[in-house]
Amino acid sequence: MVREKVVAVIFEGGNGTTTVDQLMTAVRKEVTLDTCAKLLAVPGIDETVLCTNYPDLAARAAGLGVAVDYRGADPDFHFGLRLQEVVASRGLDNVICMGGAAAPLLTGEDLGWIAGVLREQKNIAVLNNVQSADLVGFTPAAILSQVELPALDNQLGLVLRQAGLRRLLIPNAARVNFDLDTPTDVMILAMQPGLGERTRAALSGLDWDWSRLRAAVRVLEQPSSEVLVTGRVGPPVVTYINMNFTHRMRVISEERGMKALGRDTKGQVISVLGYLLESVGPVRLVEFLEKMCQVAFMDTRVLFHHFGKRLTDHDRFNSDLGRWQLIADPEVRAFTQAVQCSAVPIILGGHSLVSGGLWLLAEGLVSGRGQT
């Protein structure tokens, strides 16, 4: 019997122009190449296709044996339309779709498991996240012609589920929830073992300030610490910490699925912490946080959208890095400055920070115990 073909389709592109954007892009390109190499080595995956607007990434991926769908910068890029074109032009049926840096720590075994599910089960969507998946395996791929194609990759899982495909979640783990979207994610990635050689080389040249993140890890290492986590926080990371530590967790979980449901673009985001910031200002907010916790991990994208801000990557990323002097938006600059002056480490980032990122930091400490 002829084995059904499984194809991985990777999307990686952008048009960053500022220094911090370009650094993020450089790291993501190397992660993408390591991910491509990993996919090529999985026996259950028959082909890997890269969709990109980066000519240098396209050339290097082709040199690895990846099938490249290269197109120049397109201001009207639509994720769903492009995916449908790739599926139709190649006659694909079993597809693993992911961003180039969507799952940098997934193993070949993880990816092989997804491929096996697609061969063995039909009318199914395999997701790494219930609401906002950035890795989706699905079959039949022809279903894309029957749905309203999503503009963003985070919406694909929801669209397929609404179309009637049965949902199956990838077995939960820190690496399944970890995405590479922000500088904070990059720094957490650099702390992990077993990285690809291209990724490790790219991370070794970064000159960012790691002091607050390292201070946060030291607090997590201490027993019975007061830990605050805010934003799109899911139950698994909190459960993992509660099972392995004696920390007192303060959790403000809000706006999960913000991007996948389009709440950010519709101006519907509402944040408890946002209302508090609005009422007392950034300096007083930080004073409150200092009384509430010894370390905080904050998904600031919920805050920013609460205030209706459409920030550039430059401002968001420099806020994550604590470089408040470089931020153009005056309110984000004042907030970031107050956080930098805090007596406790407050780590800023996006969704991945308060899900896979924090989970990886905690996992690393648990693993370290076992080695002593």
Reported confidence tier of residue 235, pLDDT bands at 50, 70, 90: very high
Token couple for 217:
């890890």
The tens digit of pLDDT for each residue in 191-234 reads 999 899 999 999 998 989 999 999 999 999 999 999 999 999 99
Q: Which residue has better confidence, 282 or 103?
A: 282
Give the whole-angstrom CA distance, residue 174 versus residue 356. Answer: 5
End-to-end CA distance of the chain: 51
The tens digit of pLDDT for each residue in 168-188 reads 999 989 999 999 999 999 999
Q: Which candidate, 73, 69, 70, 66, places its Cα nearest to that of 34?
A: 66
The percent of residues above 70 in pLDDT, for the chain, comes to 98
Q: Is residue 94 pLDDT above 90, yes or no?
A: yes
Mean pLDDT score, 287-301? 98
Q: What confidence score (pLDDT) does residue 372 get?
A: 34
Mean pLDDT score, 362-372? 77
* Residue 25 Cα to chain centre, angstroms: 14
Q: What confidence score (pLDDT) does residue 369 get?
A: 67
Q: Which candidate, 5, 340, 26, places its Cα nearest to that of 180?
A: 26
Residue 177 and residue 363 in contact, taking contact as beta carbons nearer than 8 Å: no
The tens digit of pLDDT for each residue in 33-63 reads 999 999 999 999 999 999 999 999 999 999 9
Give the whole-angstrom CA distance, residue 15 versus residue 22. Answer: 9
Give the whole-angstrom CA distance, residue 327 versus residue 217. Answer: 26
Residue 266 and residue 196 in contact, taking contact as beta carbons nearer than 8 Å: no
Q: What confidence score (pLDDT) does residue 368 get?
A: 81
Q: Cβ contacts of residue 125 below 8 Å, gap of 6+?
A: 136, 137, 138, 157, 160, 161, 165, 166, 167, 168
The Cα angle at residue 218 between residues 214 and 220, in degrees rounded to 5: 115
Q: Which residues pair with 17 in a beta bridge?
A: none
Q: Which residues pair with 94 in a beta bridge?
A: 6
Altogether, the residues listed in the chain come to a count of: 372
Q: What confidence score (pLDDT) does residue 61 get?
A: 98
Residue 311 and residue 317 in contact, taking contact as beta carbons nearer than 8 Å: no
Token couple for 156:
């694909």
Tell me phi and psi for residue 170, to 5 degrees: -60, 135
Q: Is residue 121 pLDDT above 90, yes or no?
A: yes
Unique residue bearing structure tokens 């990635």: 189
Which H or E element spans position 127?
strand 124-127
Mean pLDDT score of the chain: 94
CATH topology of domain 6-171: Spore Coat Polysaccharide Biosynthesis Protein SpsA; Chain A (3.90.550)
Q: What confidence score (pLDDT) does residue 79 get?
A: 94
Which H or E element spans position 253?
strand 248-253
Q: What confidence score (pLDDT) does residue 371 get?
A: 47
- Residue spans per domain, the chain: 6-171, 183-370
Q: What confidence score (pLDDT) does residue 2 get?
A: 53
Mean pLDDT score, 76-85? 94
Q: What confidence score (pLDDT) does residue 370 get?
A: 54
